[in-house]
Homo-oligomer: A and B are copies of this chain.
């Protein structure tokens, strides 16, 4: 193993996967660019075997694409790919909300969701919102959606939603808004909280159809939001944006 410094606390495969994902999301590797295994070995500090395992995982995750002649390249996405992914995710979340409503959720299980919503609304009360508060919002919003998904009690659905989240959560809309349109963004986010409130209410009252409908509407709001944010951009500089805002504004 020569003089290579090895961190034994986490597996090399996981370390490589995290490092490579970070490179992709941060823009060190640009969409369409081929990933060199050798280079990945150098930058991650792992050897080729764990690097290759990480590459396979990232391909399955949707961030990489296999090149027929061998190797992998960073996947590129169109605006429609992103908006479709947001709608797709909203559809699955709608199903999760419906499952939660139909299968019943105790008041105790709903509590964390309500607390999360309260925290978000508290954040959004300051106008205009600060960049710091916005990034707190992003984390809390991700938590809200994760908690909601869990309430479906459906492992296959939860798994699919996780897989469907890569693109929506990496949506550039959050990035664009954070840069130039924070006040406008805030207005949209406040509307989004109304959706959050309704879905909790619908689940409490076991109204499956209403719970599902509001989550789908919630996604459509995010799509409109994305379109708005991208209107004046000539091209999608997508992946680099992912590192800055790791979750969407939905």
Asked if B92 and A88 sit within 8 Å, CB to CB, the answer is yes
Say yes or no: is A36 at the interface (Cβ < 8 Å to chain B): no
- For the complex, give the distance between the alpha carbons of A154 and B155 in Å: 25
Flag the segment in A51-59, A175-183, A185-193 that touches B. Answer: A51-59
Say yes or no: is A157 at the interface (Cβ < 8 Å to chain B): yes
Known contacts A49-B49, A163-B163; is-contact A156 B88 (Cβ 8 Å): yes
Contacts of A95 in B (CB 8 A): 87-88, 91
Asked if B160 and A164 sit within 8 Å, CB to CB, the answer is yes
- For the complex, give the distance between the alpha carbons of A167 and B92 in Å: 16
Interface of A is mostly: helix
- For the complex, give the distance between the alpha carbons of A52 and B49 in Å: 10
Say yes or no: is A4 at the interface (Cβ < 8 Å to chain B): no
Flag the segment in A77-85, A124-132, A141-149, A237-245 that touches B. Answer: A77-85
Asked if B88 and A160 sit within 8 Å, CB to CB, the answer is yes
Query: A211 CB to closest chain B CB, in angstroms?
Result: 14
Could you list 11 examples of A-B contacts with CB < 8 Å? A57-B60, A62-B156, A62-B159, A77-B156, A81-B155, A84-B157, A87-B95, A88-B154, A88-B157, A91-B95, A163-B163
Asked if A156 and B160 sit within 8 Å, CB to CB, the answer is no
Please name 13 further chain A to chain B contacts, defined as beta carbons within 8 Å, in addition to the given A57-B60, A156-B167, sorted by A numbering. A53-B56, A60-B60, A62-B156, A62-B159, A77-B156, A80-B154, A84-B99, A84-B156, A84-B157, A87-B95, A88-B95, A160-B164, A163-B163
